Amino acid sequence: MCGNNMSVPLLAEAVTVSGTEKETAAVIFLHGLGDTGHGWADTMTSIRLPYVKYICPHAPRIPVTLNMKMNMPSWFDLMGLSPESPEDEAGIKRAAENIKAIIDHEAKNGIPPHRVLLGGFSQGGALSLYTALTCQQQLAGVVGLSCWLPLHKTFPQAASGSGNKDTPILQCHGEMDPMIPVQFGSMTAEKLKTIVSPQKITFRTYPGLMHSSCPEVGSTRA
């Protein structure tokens, strides 16, 4: 394989599950606040397809305002978990550029963006949505589990150059989620319909499911 992972900071430490055949597609999956890519790599291994490369990067450790400025893995700072909470605009944009760098790296190594699915859980799902909507390359699809759209007030203008206005987006949310209420997920789905082709948005809810992902992961293969 050509290319140098060290030139893409997130790839240098990312957990990668290689395909068992020639890799012609990739899944980039982003974990939630305080987590790492290891658990999601295990999940991807259990549902993997032989021609797909799975990349589960680790977020950098930064002080998180929401958690009393404790240092923990976080894609960007979080001040709150409501639609009106202040947001770390610079951090969100920087994180999105780092994910786009992974997409560009894979393209240079033979997997074009239209064969890359971008997904994530909670904060990672939020970053996946933002990255896709501000990415010029068209992706294969986006999966957001228990998440929201960061900087939602900047859209649809922020997506003016997006290559993903016709890209399928699957959102999944537990109806009993105490951290990111399902109503927040529903509001996000409605907002997405004003940004991209509405028929490309699928929003699924799961009765009894809290801030978790087990049934959601299975549905991403459907």
Residue 213 falls in the annotated catalytic set = no
Nearest C-alpha neighbor of 185 from the set 199, 170, 198? 170
Catalytic residue among 31, 152, 177, 213: 177
Catalytic residue among 104, 197, 211, 219: 211
Within a 10 A sphere around the Cβ of 65, how many other Cβ atoms? 16
Contact 130, 150 (CB under 8 A): yes
Give the separation between CA 136 and CA 46, rounded to whole angstroms: 31
Q: Which amino acid would we find at residue 14?
A: A
Contact 119, 125 (CB under 8 A): yes
Catalytic residue among 122, 128, 146, 213: 122
Contact 72, 87 (CB under 8 A): no
Residue 211 falls in the annotated catalytic set = yes
Residue 114 falls in the annotated catalytic set = no
The helix (H) or strand (E) run that includes residue 102 is helix 89-108
Phi, psi of 88, deg, nearest 5: -85, 80
Among all residues, which ones are annotated catalytic?
122, 177, 211
